[in-house]
Amino acid sequence: MFSVSNSQLETKQKLCYAVIMFNSIRGIITGKNVDTLCIETGGVEWDITVPSTDLSALPPVGETGRVFTWLFHKETEMRLYGFSDNKRRATFLELLKVEGIGPKGAIKIMGGIGQEELETALENEDLGRLEAVPGLGKKTAQKMLLALKGKLTFSKETERAGPYAELAEALAAMGYDKRQAVEALKTAETELPDNKNGAEREQELFKRAIILLAGN
């Protein structure tokens, strides 16, 4: 027999949040409920928890759709969460980093406010708009402002990043401010030699952007 301390258990539970085991599921959408989606692929029907705002963005029942997924797994529970696109999943994962917000809470928040409106509220530090989201109290809204300001500007910053939007999102996932990541990528691009192309060019660009961001 061996014992596990509370701190060790909390660490194990936090690690359950860290891995995306299934990137996405493509198949026939067989059902939609308030916050769940059923999708069949390869003879298996998946029951996936989805924000209500994402349900309307996915194809109707009977049509083929693709759901970006994230698996929550701990000792007593396993649940698959789904999103209409990778940006929405990235938002969900950022929300999980906020103290006091778990998977169910993040889904409820995302179902109570649209993506662009959420990004705008965070950038403008609009505490009143965040407090108006069902189930989101003042203290948690304040924690969201502190933790996520500059982290969810996917719409505008992706457009500004141009062909390097995916690199900007990868840098943001590492904890860098997305706006600063975009600027670092643009600066790094001007310094790249002309003989680098394709994947090699992107890899070098990514490395140089990290160096620039680390020096800020």
Q: What is the pLDDT of residues 76-101, one digit of tens each?
A: 888 999 999 888 998 998 999 899 99
If you write DSSP's letter for every residue of 44-60 in order, what string do you get?
A: EEEEEE--HHHHTTSPP
Each residue's pLDDT tens digit, 130-172:
999 988 889 999 999 999 987 776 555 555 556 677 788 778 7
In the predicted model, is pLDDT for residue 194 greater than 80?
no
Which among 146, 156, 208, 151 has a CA at the least distance from the CA of 174? 151
Residue 24 makes CB contacts below 8 A (sequence gap 6+) with 66, 67, 68, 69
Cα–Cα distance, 56 to 53 (Å, whole number): 6
Burial class for 163, CB neighbours closer than 10 Å (0-12, 13-18, 19+): exposed
- Please tell me the predicted confidence (pLDDT) of residue 160: 56
Domains and CATH numbers, the chain: 11-83 (2.40.50.140), 86-148 (1.10.150.20), 154-214 (no CATH)
Element (H or E) spanning 78, and its range?
strand 77-83
**pLDDT bucket at 203, cuts 50 / 70 / 90:** confident
- Decide: 168 and 205 in contact? Cβ < 8 Å: no
Alpha-carbon gap, residue 206 to 202, rounded angstroms = 6
**Per-position DSSP letters for 129-164, written without gaps between them:** HHHTSTT--HHHHHHHHHHHTTT--HHHHHHHHGGG
The residues with which 49 forms a beta bridge, in sequence order, are 36, 81
- Cα separation, 39 vs 57, in Å, equals 15
Q: Residues 4-49: pLDDT tens digits?
A: 344 433 433 443 444 455 788 999 999 999 899 999 999 999 999 9
